[in-house]
Structure 1
Amino acid sequence: MCLLWGPHPSHSVSQWTECIQFSVSCLTLCNRPAVNQELSNLFNELWRLDVNRLTPGIDYTISVQGRASYVSQGSHVVQDHASLPLFSNVNANKLGNITTISRFTKLLDNYERSTGVTEQVTTEELTETNLFLDAILETAVMKRAHKYLVSKGQSNSNLSQFKNQLRLIWFTLYHRQRNTGLDSCGFEHVFVGETKSGTEIIGFHNWIQFYLQETNNHLDYKGYKARDHDLPDQDDHVLNLQFSWHGLVKPVGSAFIGTSPEFEMALFTIVFLMSTERSTTVLVNIDQCQMELVVIRNGRSLGTAYPRLLSSNSRHIRQYSH
């Protein structure tokens, strides 16, 4: 437990070191981290309810290509291990005809890319946000997420109050960079992406934004990131990847692939509200993937949220069955 909860004030350095060694050996012996079964069950239910999810090989095709090399944060020099785009084909008509996705894409140009630049919110942008929230609240995914949060005492059963809660978590502006105006929000960071000090990409964990930026030649996919025995393929629903965007490099990014905006917002909203810690990581199995969902708060709003793929195509299940 020491490894998970940190050193006790009364522990000496030697006791702490011993505790780490014990914890590591325990993890090695157990060979299986603790999966949050309750959230895994819920998120698989949301997965099945996500009718707006696109199907790999039918609605879109990705080409994972080569393994990306190591790049230090802030470096502009990167070797390209993917000569082709990640998305070789996407059914743009289908994207445009799904209400939550079409309203989602309207939000993507509402933000200043660089942190430290105060956001100016227009009446039109407020309307777009409002329409998007209305659309996701009508989906079975968000209705089920709302029901769960109400049952846990984390949300009000009143729909308009839940809508305001989502607005506070995702769209309320705050300071990401000190000594500047209100320059960021959870939605911008997670779904749109930001740049910091003109040297690095922060956030940017959404496949639709990735595809649109790639199509407009603002983004260049450099290759996937994975362990040797866990190579990705074209039907994986979460990818760890490397890319450049407007001349800056993201050494390792991660995103769900093919999922709807409401599915991602539902998952991260639940993780956000079910913990009071500044940083929360939960281990879950969703469909055939094992992943960590990482959520970091900024006060009462979301600082960042992303999936970190650990294993795909049920390899984690086969691994433990030997």
Structure 2
Amino acid sequence: MADESGVLRRAVSSATINDVPNPTQEELSNIGLAVQKLWELDKNRLETGVDYTLNVFIAHGKENSTPKPLFNHVDNKVNQLPTYKYFYALLDNYIPQTGIPEVVNDGEKKENERFLKACLQTGPMLYAFKYLKAKGAVKGSITDFENELNKIWFHMYRRQGHEGDSSSFEHVFLGEVGNGKAMAFHNWITFYFYEKVGRITFESLIPLKEGHNKHKNPSGNEHVINLRFSFEGAKKPYSTSFVGTSPEFELAMYSMLFLLKHSDTHVVLDDANLNLKIYPFDQDGMRYIGSAFPMILDPLN
């Protein structure tokens, strides 16, 4: 498969349950190793410096007086790979402001189902299913797992005192605005598409916070970054996000950690030293994901 420039591109990667390895005993006893396996299976992840390039601008103050986009270039495959394409279709299904009840119509429900079905044809999601089955965290068939994912991610809940104004998927993957502040926005694909249409303004990448033993300025080759930005004027002074990872990788990882009740998970991915945070909460007899994101720890070297 080649794009208009003639550059050869990786073909769409899909998988069946038999294509995906069973989790090893070491992985079953160490959730960090299981997350590393998800990373290895993420065949639809974009390659830094090839499939996308970042603007590594670092503002010394809090404001960037000459804003430039975070993404200098992203390969057109984000419009063609099924999970990316179906993820993009979900971006206009939500009202960013908390406190306004969401109305989910039948067409939007079908878009949710189409996205989940596409994810469940990839290595990371099928490995997550096998892992959770082996740990006794899910039961039944892959269809039962799909139904469970639908409840976890797309069932509406109350975030700001109103009925059905939020969901785990909206908060973690799309982001919200509450009391004039941007919240979450931890997914790079959402950031990229919002940036293209002028809804997000990138302000700066951020080195490791003061107090870390070793300081490291971002090079633009990272798969996890710290940054500040604003969404339609609502500020987000500090945020973290994976970059280049597929939607199915993040969905599989956060689902697995949530269902196994891991709130903090230390893992090293592509030389990034991370703590994966999951914030669960209970409402009306159900357990939801309030937020989920990576935290960058001190560099390993």
TM range (shorter): 0.7 to 0.9
Look up the SS of the partner of 1:83 in the other structure.
Answer: coil
Name the CA shift for 1:85/1:42 in 2 (closer, same or farther; >3 Å): same
Matched, 1:104 2:96: no
Gaps of 5+ in 1: 1-35, 70-77
Q: Which moved more, 1:134-143 or 1:219-228?
A: 219-228
Contact 1:169/1:302 (CA < 8 Å) preserved in 2? yes
Matched, 1:48 2:32: no
Percent of aligned pairs sharing the same letter: 37
Structure 1: distance between partners of 2:148 and 2:184: 22
Matched, 1:142 2:125: yes
Give 1:226 deviation, angstroms. Answer: 2.1
Matched, 1:305 2:289: no
> Residue 165 of structure 2 aligns with which residue?
183
Offset from partner CA, 1:74-100 (integer Å, 9 cap, x none): xxxx51176321100111x21111000
Structure 1: distance between partners of 2:133 and 2:64: 47
Contact 1:108/1:192 (CA < 8 Å) preserved in 2? yes
- Give the partner amino acid of 2:63: Q
> Residue 268 of structure 1 aligns with which residue?
254
- Give the partner amino acid of 2:69: P
Give 1:215 deviation, angstroms. Answer: 0.9
Structure 2: distance between partners of 1:68 and 1:59: 29
Name the CA shift for 1:37/1:213 in 2 (closer, same or farther; >3 Å): farther
Structure 2: distance between partners of 1:101 and 1:290: 26
Equivalence map 1:227-246=2 (5 Å): 227=208, 229-246=215-232
Structure possessing the higher radius of gyration over alpha carbons: 1
Give 1:219 deviation, angstroms. Answer: 1.1
Equivalence map 1:240-259=2 (5 Å): 240-259=226-245
Structure 2: distance between partners of 1:301 and 1:270: 13
Give 1:65 deviation, angstroms. Answer: 1.1
Contact 2:278/2:293 (CA < 8 Å) preserved in 1? yes
Give 1:68 deviation, angstroms. Answer: 5.7
- Give the partner amino acid of 2:129: H
Q: Which moved more, 1:262-271 or 1:227-236?
A: 227-236
Name the CA shift for 1:151/1:259 in 2 (closer, same or farther; >3 Å): same
> Residue 68 of structure 2 aligns with which residue?
84
- Give the partner amino acid of 2:97: S
Give 1:298 deviation, angstroms. Answer: 2.7
Structure 1 runs of 4+ with >3 Å offset: none
RMSD: 1.7
Contact 1:81/1:223 (CA < 8 Å) preserved in 2? no
Q: Of residues 93, 97, 102 in structure 2, which corresponds to 1:119? A: 102
Contact 1:67/1:226 (CA < 8 Å) preserved in 2? no
Give 1:171 deviation, angstroms. Answer: 0.7
Contact 1:145/1:270 (CA < 8 Å) preserved in 2? yes
Q: How many residues align?
A: 265
Offset from partner CA, 1:163-183 (integer Å, 9 cap, x none): 1111111111000011x2210
Structure 2: distance between partners of 1:114 and 1:252: 19
Look up the SS of the partner of 2:273 in the other structure.
Answer: strand
Structure 1: distance between partners of 2:138 and 2:92: 30
Matched, 1:293 2:293: no
Look up the SS of the partner of 2:236 in the other structure.
Answer: strand
Q: Which moved more, 1:241-250 or 1:58-67?
A: 58-67
> Residue 151 of structure 1 aligns with which residue?
134
- Give the partner amino acid of 2:37: E
> Residue 15 of structure 2 aligns with which residue?
none
Contact 1:66/1:82 (CA < 8 Å) preserved in 2? no
> Residue 26 of structure 1 aligns with which residue?
none
Offset from partner CA, 1:257-288 (integer Å, 9 cap, x none): 00001100111111111117xxx222211221
Equivalence map 1:56-95=2 (5 Å): 56-67=48-59, 69=61, 78-80=62-64, 83-91=67-75, 93-95=76-78
Give 1:128 deviation, angstroms. Answer: 0.2
Equivalence map 1:271-282=2 (5 Å): 271-275=257-261, 280-282=263-265
Offset from partner CA, 1:136-192 (integer Å, 9 cap, x none): 0110110001111111110114111111111111111000011x2210000000111
